[in-house]
Amino acid sequence: MANLILPFLARRLQRTPAHLLLLSHIIPSLSSSPSPSSKLPFHFLFHALHQTSLIPTLQTHHFSTFQPFSAHNLDDPFDFNHPRFRTYDPHDRFLLRFLELLREFPHYPSEAEAMTSLDDSGIEVNSEMIYSAVWELREEWRLALLAFRWSEKWGCADEKSSNLMIWVLGNHRKFNTAWCLIRDMHQSKVDTRRAMLIMIDRYASANDPCKAIGTFHIMEKFRLSPDQQAFHTVLNALCKYGNVEEAEEFMFVNKKLFPLETEGFNIILNGWCNISLDIFEAKRVWREMSKCCITPDATSYTNMISCFAKVGNLFDSLRLYEEMKKRSWVPGLKVYNSLIYVLTCQNCLEQALKILAKMKGSGLQPDSATYNSMIHPLCEAKMFEEARNILTVMMEENLGPTMETYHSFLEGAGFEGTLEILNQMRKAGLGPTGDSFLIILSRFFKLGQPENALKIWVEMKQYEVEPSHTHQSVLVQGLATCGWLTKAREFYADMRSKGFAEDPKLKKLLKEPARDSMHKGKRRVQQLNREGWVNHGKGSRVRWKIHRNKSRRKKKEIKKSNLEL
């Protein structure tokens, strides 16, 4: 396979419509996978640093949902959207009837009458049905709370449904009501430990790190000891939602109670490396580990290599990779994905393929992220034929395209090609999502094609994607930037009519030049002309009478020459 792909580096390829890329019967087939490389020494990898002059260095700082790898993707224990929490049948007829009755609640004059109606419905309540109802009504917290309160009346509100209800309330920032539930759980001798951890996570998601930390400190009031697990939960929650600085401060402030150790530092490193993507802060924390005599482990190196790779630092990525091996830490799949990504970004596809072969030789099987780590930067560099060949190999490995794969190929698709990719995504059950349309809208405006952006806007309804405030803002700003002010104002008015908040930046962008300022400008020009000044660009004003004298002199010379002739 490598022998067939590598020659593509020797020539620049013409762009190909991206709607052909995802059809497996059109993509040219390649031979079998490369044989594993027996050895890939460090000095050989550094040779890649001298091969970056063939094409411009790839830039990946614009909007993109692509995440080629995550060095330390912690399993979120409080993500109730995870499939592991869906243990019910959403088509159960008793559940559907229960939901139907709950949705009639606004028609009742009081909650008591709604409860009475539920009592008289004849529905046999159980804890599983209550859990299912709360989940189905997670976007309508009042109805979810009504279902939960009714279950309390019949003694069916167990710890599982209570925790879910607290999560739902936290999502809607109804923290006072959530605390009331925790108090009731405590009084009923129900374990509130997980409920408290959920509150910490929800406060962090609401960008309230102080209350997240405060919840940790009051755990003792509920007869819970804030142990190492709870401590790490606070660090994880703060970092996950971008409060990495607060998390780091929290770790050092509590170092007497919870001594500094590798795992805590790894959580902070993950925050700087993979969430905030701040290489300077990551380096500082890495040095701090050394000062505190904390030995980095495989996760530490994985985080740092990931960060260096994401910012395109090939040298340090390879340096830490070698250092990691010297310390007897075995590089995992995420490390290899990071190296493959940064090598491809730095125009070293040949070396990236050798890393892929080395990875297979070590017994690791590449995943979709591995191939996306090559496909995405290749598409950004408009090297679509190489990207198609990588996609072919990916499919030969029985790895289907992911949403990130489709988003990558959207980089080079025209309007028809974009529609084809969207259809492929729908057939594969991978969207398209709101992010997909953000990528498309941004790209068409960047190309100066507002007419195609408006066509895509219409297509969003066909895919049942509801435009968000971000979609509306991108559309209005793009239309205005492309000179379609009338259309931009229409969409901005529609945006405001739907209840979206006023955007000062957009309002300023759509504002017409004031008539007074236009008249002042005209009067100023007339005044300058009367005074005999003519503006000739930057800071150079020449008296109009000088030009007039030159013109007269030139006419006299022409007249004299005619007489002589």
Q: Sign of the CA dihedral 559, 560, 561, 565? A: positive
Whether the pLDDT of residue 498 is over 80: the answer is: yes
pLDDT above 70 (res 387): yes
DSSP line for 10-47: GS------GGGTT-TTTSPP--SPPPPPS---HHHHHG
CA distance 277 to 283: 11
CA distance 150 to 152: 5
pLDDT of residue 154: 86
C-alpha–C-alpha distance, residues 179 and 304, integer Å: 39
Q: What is the pLDDT of residues 70-86, one digit of tens each?
A: 433 444 556 666 554 55
Q: Which contacts of 51-56 are long-range, i.e. CB under 8 A and separated by 24 or more positions? A: 51/347, 51/348, 51/350, 51/351, 52/346, 52/347, 52/348, 53/347, 54/9, 54/347, 55/12, 55/347, 55/381, 55/383, 56/381
User: Where are the chain's structural domains?
Assistant: 260-331, 427-509
Can you give the pLDDT at residue 180? 95
Structure tokens at 129: 């049905």
pLDDT at 515: 43
Rounded to whole angstroms, the Cα distance separating 416 from 395 reads 24
- Residue 55 pLDDT greater than 60, yes or no: no
285 versus 108: the higher-pLDDT residue is 285
Compute φ and ψ for 297, nearest 5 degrees: -110, -170
Query: Would you state the structure tokens that stand for residue 234, as one six-digit string?
Result: 């606070």
pLDDT single digits (tens) 97-141 = 888 888 887 777 777 888 888 888 778 788 888 999 999 999 999
**Residue 353 in this model has a pLDDT that exceeds 80:** yes
Average pLDDT over residues 145-150: 92
Which tokens in the block code for residue 469? Answer: 């405030």
* Cβ proximity of 544 and 534 under 8 Å: yes
Task: Determine what percent of the chain is predicted with pLDDT higher than 90.
Answer: 60
Q: Which residue has the higher pLDDT, 554 or 507?
A: 507
Q: What is the pLDDT of residues 424-464, one digit of tens each?
A: 999 999 989 999 999 999 999 999 999 999 999 999 989 98
Looking at this protein, which amino acid is placed at residue 309? A
CA distance 339 to 369: 12
User: Shortest CA distance to 73 belongs to which of 384, 324, 337?
Assistant: 337
Q: For the chain, how many residues are written?
A: 565
Over 60: is that where the pLDDT of 418 sits?
yes
Which letter does DSSP use for residue 501 in this model? P
